[in-house]
Amino acid sequence: MPKAGCSKRALPLLVIATLSLTACATAPSRPSVVCPPVAAYDRAFQARLADEIQRLPRGAALERAMLDYTRLRDQARACAGAQSQPRPGIAHGE
């Protein structure tokens, strides 16, 4: 069983070590962002898809799912576009 005096001395050392390590961070870290890929569809497939969507019954669940998918594709494109833009105050290519 550890002695109480030993743990009282360890706590300040732990706090000092934690603060010392935190002080080493000189620049804010940039979070890593991974954008999902956007599948490319050729014109023939797009035409077939448009035809199939037009044939759906009014109010079909697939219609809503396709709208959600369109929104996700737009967000993925925006993410990829934002990643390729240089950030103010940061050299591009870091």
Relative orientation angle of helices 61-84 and 43-54, to the nearest 10 degrees: 150
Could you count the other beta carbons within 10 Å of the beta carbon of residue 76?
15
- pTM summary value: 0.52
pLDDT band with cut points at 50, 70 and 90 for residue 93: very low
pLDDT band with cut points at 50, 70 and 90 for residue 5: low
Looking at residue 18, its pLDDT comes to 74
Distance of alpha carbon 70 from alpha carbon 64, whole angstroms: 10
pLDDT tens, residue by residue, 38-91: 999 999 999 999 999 999 999 999 989 999 999 999 999 999 887 765 545 444
- What are the structural domain ranges in the chain? 40-84
Structure token digits, residue 22: 């935190």
Task: Judge whether residue 94 has pLDDT over 50.
Answer: no
